[in-house]
């Protein structure tokens, strides 16, 4: 099973600042990594797939990078609506398909 | 608009059973692989089951293997999760999600809004 480690657990950022979230995998997953945004009471929302491709409707301030075992999600200029928990997910060596523990972004 | 709507959650006693449904609309349901994912209170997302469009391949997480069964009815655009021998640790919000794949890269989109399952006496 591929283990996913996200850091930090919580990120407190002021509006307009830049936020960088990290996801590490225990084995290489190539570019097969996705990021999801989860707000309380809402469905998870796809943000990034293929490590760096923005999903439809996701603002350009969101960007993903990395390959192999090290990945990052960057929000270039935080808005209040970006407050959420962000999860990374690998889909290379499965089952089981695995998610990271999440990073909570507080504005 | 592509949409997934879960139903069937509720309060059930330990050892009991429950069947969840996921109604799909806005896309050709039978052409897509589907998944169930859950989120326990205060915890992260946990993938629990996968099914291909033809139901020919099914996978489960170890935590539910032998107790849960995924199935689908493509004529009715419905995905199911039959849950038996429920435990307190199965308490969670259960989401269905469509599986997408392009050039070897895969992801989930969209997700349903979730249905709450509470296992308690």
Residue A93: its pLDDT value, please? 81
Substitution target from B103, B107, B116 for chain A, most A beta carbons within 10 A:
B107
The H or E element spanning position B40 is none
The A-side interface with B (CB below 8 A) comprises 30-32, 34, 36, 38, 42-46, 49-50, 55, 85, 87, 89, 91, 94-102
Residue B104: its pLDDT value, please? 81
Taking the CA of residue A100 and the nearest CA in chain B, the distance in Å comes to 8
The yes-or-no verdict on residue A94 having pLDDT over 90 is no
Contacts of B9 (CB under 8 A, 6+ apart): B18, B20, B93, B94, B115, B116, B117, B118
SS3 A31: coil
SS3 B29: helix
Residue A58: closest CA among A41, A35, A40, A42: A35
> CA B2, CA A57: separation in Å to the nearest integer?
14
**Alpha-carbon dihedral angle through residues B25, B113, A90, A80, given to the nearest 10 degrees:** 120
- Looking at beta carbons, which residues of chain A come within 8 Å of B107? 34, 46, 49-50, 89, 91
- Looking at beta carbons, which residues of chain B come within 8 Å of A23? none
Q: Which residues of chain B have pLDDT under 50?
A: none
- Looking at beta carbons, which residues of chain B come within 8 Å of A99? 44-47
The H or E element spanning position B19 is strand B18-25
Distance of CA B112 to the CA centre of its chain: 10
> CA B110, CA B10: separation in Å to the nearest integer?
23
Section A101-105 average pLDDT: 97
State the sign of the Cα–Cα–Cα–Cα dihedral A76, A81, A84, A88.
negative
- The β-bridge partners of B95 are B37
Residue B103: its pLDDT value, please? 84
């Amino acid at each position: 099973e591929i283990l996913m480690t996200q850091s930090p657990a919580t990120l407190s950022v002021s509006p307009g600042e830049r936020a960088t979230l990290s996801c590490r995998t225990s084995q290489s997953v190539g570019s097969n990594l996705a990021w999801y945004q989860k707000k309380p009471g809402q469905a998870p929302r796809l943000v990034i797939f293929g490590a760096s491709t923005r999903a439809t409707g996701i603002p350009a301030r969101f960007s993903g990078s990395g390959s192999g075992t090290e990945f990052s999600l960057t929000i270039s200029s935080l808005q209040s609506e970006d407050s959420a928990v962000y999860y990374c997910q690998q889909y290379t060596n499965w089952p089981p398909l695995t998610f990271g523990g999440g990073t909570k972004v507080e504005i | 608009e592509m949409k997934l709507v879960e139903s069937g959650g509720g309060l059930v006693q330990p050892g009991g059973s429950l069947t969840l449904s996921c109604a799909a609309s806005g896309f050709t349901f039978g052409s897509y692989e589907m998944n169930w994912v859950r989120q326990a209170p205060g915890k992260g997302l946990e993938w629990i089951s996968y099914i291909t469009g033809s139901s020919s391949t099914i996978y489960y997480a170890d935590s539910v293997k032998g107790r849960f069964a995924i199935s689908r009815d493509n004529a009715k655009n419905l995905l199911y999760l039959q849950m038996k021998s429920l435990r307190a640790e199965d308490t969670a919000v259960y989401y269905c999600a469509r599986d997408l794949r392009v050039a070897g890269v895969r992801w989930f989109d969209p997700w349903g809004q979730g249905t709450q399952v509470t296992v308690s006496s």
